[in-house]
Amino acid sequence: MRKGSKKSWKGVVPMELVLEDITKKYKDKTAVQNVSATLHSGQLIGLIGKNGAGKTTLLKLLSTILKPTSGRILLDGQDIVKNPNVMRSTVGYLPQEVSAYPNLTVLEYLSYIASVKGIKKKDAEKQINSLLADFHLENARGKCMGNCSGGMKQRVGIICALLGDPQIIIIDEPTTGLDPEERIAVRNILSRLSRERIVILSTHIVSDIEAVASRILLLQQGSLVFNGSPEELIAKAKGCVWEYMLPSLQENMKGISSMVQTEKGIHIRQVSRKKPWEQAVPVNSTLEDACLFVMEG
């Protein structure tokens, strides 16, 4: 049992990860600003934000690759900035850019990663076989990494993060390069794993995690602008999503959620507190509308 852990839950020790007023500056650039949140086992957390919002920086802070400029990160009450091994012994992290080992086969690569993680050979074999099956990669075990498709490499990367059965799983943009079927498979596996773990996935594509996230953290220019359930986020934009047709585009249109050219004109979906156009009709909000609504302030 980890030091500081109090009670057992379904045979697994539940964890609490607390971010206390985290700020990270790169010289004069503030990438993450005063972020506070408390995360628990049993959650699949979707970290959403546009490119440059600070997602990768925040994930690197949680994985102890970076140190915050100020603030504390506590895992079950232990400061992971002062004691990074507390986190390192329990986290599986897949960065956005994974090192390439083109000459190693998938099996050799996974065995190598398992040995770096200190997993015994027999356990490693068992875990690798089971994960290769989960990710539909059994037939790729003898394939050189250099000959694998982007989707295959991404799935191999996720397997690396899962080797050693980490209790905290952090994956930066997990569905990059995956086809729709692979996306669903990966999402379902991570969703299953999150029942007893903390799983954090970052994405700039809201629909990627819409179906599985139980918690949303929305980052905008380094600040946390929403922290709650997907339902709470959707409720924020209730009554503020509109659809209408326009003959042509207007200047300075804000809050455009989608825009589709049709034979009759341009079909607009827009988030706005006020009715944006005479013929606009209110429609139900999606998570994507709600993210836009919150970010547009």
Nearest to 20 by CA among 51, 61, 53, 63: 61
Q: Does residue 92 bind ligand ADP (CB under 6 A)?
A: no
CB of 186 vs ligand ADP, minimal distance in Å:
19
For residue 56, state whether it binds ligand ADP (rule: CB under 6 A): yes
Burial 69-102 (b: 16+ CB within 10 A, else e): eebebbbbebebbeebebbeebbbbbbeebeebe
CB of 227 to ligand ADP, least distance (A): 16
Q: Which residue of 41, 57, 285, 286 would you call a contact of ligand ADP, by CB under 6 A?
A: 57
Residue 53 within binding range of ligand ADP, rule CB under 6 A: yes
105 binds ligand ADP (CB under 6 A): no
Read off the amino acid at residue 226: F
Let me know: does 109 contact 100? Beta carbons within 8 Å: no
Q: Which is nearer to ligand ADP, 49 or 164 (CB)?
A: 49
Phi-psi label, residue 151: left if phi above 0, alpha if psi -120 to 50, beta otherwise = alpha
x/- binding map, residues 20-49, to ligand ADP, per CB under 6 A?
Answer: ------x--x-x-----------------x
The set of long-range contacts for 226-234, using a CB threshold of 8 Å and a minimum separation of 24, is 226/291, 226/294, 227/37, 230/46, 230/287, 233/287, 233/290, 233/291, 233/294, 234/285, 234/286, 234/287, 234/289, 234/290
Residues that bind ligand ADP (rule: CB under 6 A) add up to a total of 11
Kindly state the smallest distance separating residue 155's Cβ from ligand ADP, in Å: 21
**Residue 54 lies near ligand ADP (rule: CB under 6 A):** yes
Binder among 15, 22, 55, 76 for ligand ADP (CB under 6 A): 55
Q: Are 193 and 130 in contact (CB under 8 A)?
A: no
Closest distance to ligand ADP from the beta carbon of 55 (Å): 4
Indicate whether 234 belongs to the interface with ligand ADP (CB under 6 A).
no
CA-wise closest residue to 76 among 127, 13, 137: 13
Q: Using CB under 6 A, which of the segments 50-58, 73-81, 99-107, 140-148 binds ligand ADP?
A: 50-58
Sites of contact with ligand ADP (CB under 6 A): 26, 29, 31, 49, 51-57
